[in-house]
Structure 1
């Protein structure tokens, strides 16, 4: 019984084509793993940075502003719970799509440390500034800066994604 071992070997052209396809698949997987957040999550994060200073300012207001302080606190806690659930959903979708868990430790420290430090200080500081001055401009200013930071970071991720191989 004779076997033809060479009959199943690809030609050099077929081998080059298969390698090119493999490189294309690798590039696609790399781009997929660098994909920025879904647009709904970018909008949700931006909404959180708009709402949080206003809710906190209402909760800290002396005297009450627009509605009772307890209503501001309940609204703020409920909203943050929704944002937390949406973050969990986005993280699960990200893992299902890429096979990689979300990790904040891979963000560049030169951008992450100031953002994770200054944004909470800005939000809390605006709430206290509103409490002591009674001017809601502090809250709206903090909301605008938070929204700009959120939109800017999402645009940055999109730019990084486009540069990915």
Structure 2
């Protein structure tokens, strides 16, 4: 915007503010773009596997596999998940110039998800330990996978609405 050497007119100042707001909104929308599909699948599989593996670690006695094997599985899937999260974040940052962010999502969706999902995933292992019924683990696995898919779809809808 050119001001011909003098101070900007009120119209030019309003135009510059509107342009700045538009750029800020575009950056927020870009950073709210959904995870890459391969990472969404990885996250969903991790969430689905976590209650079963944690249940194996928490079992009173060996359940399907020795407890040490379950602990190894937990460590391996968590390390793999964290490594893929780093790869997804780096690739996204290189592609778009912004970091992957969850803070642009509505708090009414993210807070219950981030508080409730761990309770379901970890709580099912404790219930399994006390009842001995693996149904709790499989139910938590399905609930976690469904929550992951639902959250991803909401993420996609938010991005499309803001783009």
Q: Give the corresponding residue for 1:112.
A: 110
Structure 1 residues 119 and 33: CA distance shift in structure 2, 3 A: closer
Q: Mind listing any 5+ residue stretches in structure 1 that lack a counterpart? A: 1-26
CA distance in 2, matches of 1:33, 1:58: 37
Structure 1 residues 79 and 96: CA distance shift in structure 2, 3 A: same
Paired positions, count: 141
CA offset at residue 103 of structure 1? 2.8
Kindly name which structure, 1 or 2, has the bigger radius of gyration based on alpha carbons.
1
CA distance in 1, matches of 2:125, 2:28: 42
Q: Which deviates the most, 30-39 or 155-164?
A: 30-39
Matches within 5 A, 1:57-76: 57-76=55-74
Q: TM-score of the superposition, structure 1-length normalised? A: 0.78
CA distance in 1, matches of 2:28, 2:55: 43
CA offset at residue 95 of structure 1? 0.6
Structure 1 residue 48 corresponds to structure 2 residue 37: no
Q: TM-score of the superposition, structure 2-length normalised? A: 0.79
Q: Mind listing any 5+ residue stretches in structure 2 that lack a counterpart? A: 1-24
Aligned CA RMSD, in angstroms, stands at: 2.2
CA offset at residue 159 of structure 1? 1.3
